[in-house]
Amino acid sequence: MLTVENANLHYGAAQALRGISIKAEMGKITCVLGRNGVGKSSLLRAVTGQHALSAGSVTFDGVTLNGLAPFARAKQGIGYVPQGREIFPLLTVKENLETGFAPVSRRDRTIPEDIYDLFPVLKSMLSRRGGDLSGGQQQQLAIGRAMVTRPKILVLDEPTEGIQPSIIKDIGRAIRYLRDSTGMAILLVEQYLDFCRELADYVYIMDRGEIVHEGLAETLDTPEARRHLTV
Ligand SMILES: Nc1ncnc2c1ncn2[C@@H]1O[C@H](COP(=O)(O)OP(=O)(O)OP(=O)(O)O)[C@@H](O)[C@H]1O
């Protein structure tokens, strides 16, 4: 289980996280919803080690991650699909997938076949450059690359952003498959309410750096929850 406890995060004098506490359990999809700029990406930066917390803690599987570099967190089993995908545009699809080998032991440096079962388009485009793929294909590649790192928890930053509906469906199916087949934890942040309602086991809503609602996915249909999500 991933646990974030009483997390504060600052950019200079500006505070982006204010006493955030969340849990992401193994075998469950945990979704953090919130409007633009409420701190969702900052929360994931704190989990993946790209920005230090100014107070509070992040623990995974009983190990405190505070102070560990992103690379060391990847070795602990944190797989990350960043906002905007961050595909290497000049590397081929295969080479992009192979960048995921870095944190895994030598004997695990293979590309899991289920990546191609989930996203057949990647197999047919292995020698194409990452930059030539559509946004949706790049999102699939970014998920594939994270799967190569053999994560115990997959952390996704707005996986539906700018993606066409048919590929959003494929991505939802892939996330469910990963939960059910491997029992990994999934933590995703989103603005797209319907995607989360269909997929999530447990949801949090953030507003201005704080958690303002939490509960089972069904609770998203309550007026209190909706109030935090409407502009
Ligand atoms: N590098 C930075 N330096 C200064 N302020 C930042 C930085 N990154 C984010 N912020 C600010 O911190 C707050 C939270 O930003 P964050 O990106 O975490 O929100 P978000 O919910 O992920 O938004 P979005 O949906 O637009 O990605 C915002 O007010 C943002 O302007």
Q: Which atom of ligand 1 is nearest to the CA of 43?
A: 18
| Pocket of ligand 1 contains residue 13 by CB under 6 Å | no
Tokens of 195: 């995607």
Position of tokens 């899991």?
A: 112
Q: Is the pTM above the cut of 0.90?
A: yes
Confidence of residue 45 (pLDDT cuts 50, 70, 90): very high
Please tell me the predicted confidence (pLDDT) of residue 168. Answer: 93
> What's the longest Cα–Cα distance across the chain?
51
On the question of pLDDT at 229 being above 90, the answer is no
CA-closest residue to ligand 1 atom 29: 37
Domain boundaries, the chain: 2-229
Q: How far is CA 29 from CA 8, 51, 157, 163, in A?
A: 24, 24, 13, 20
CATH architecture, domain 2-229 = 3-Layer(aba) Sandwich (3.40)
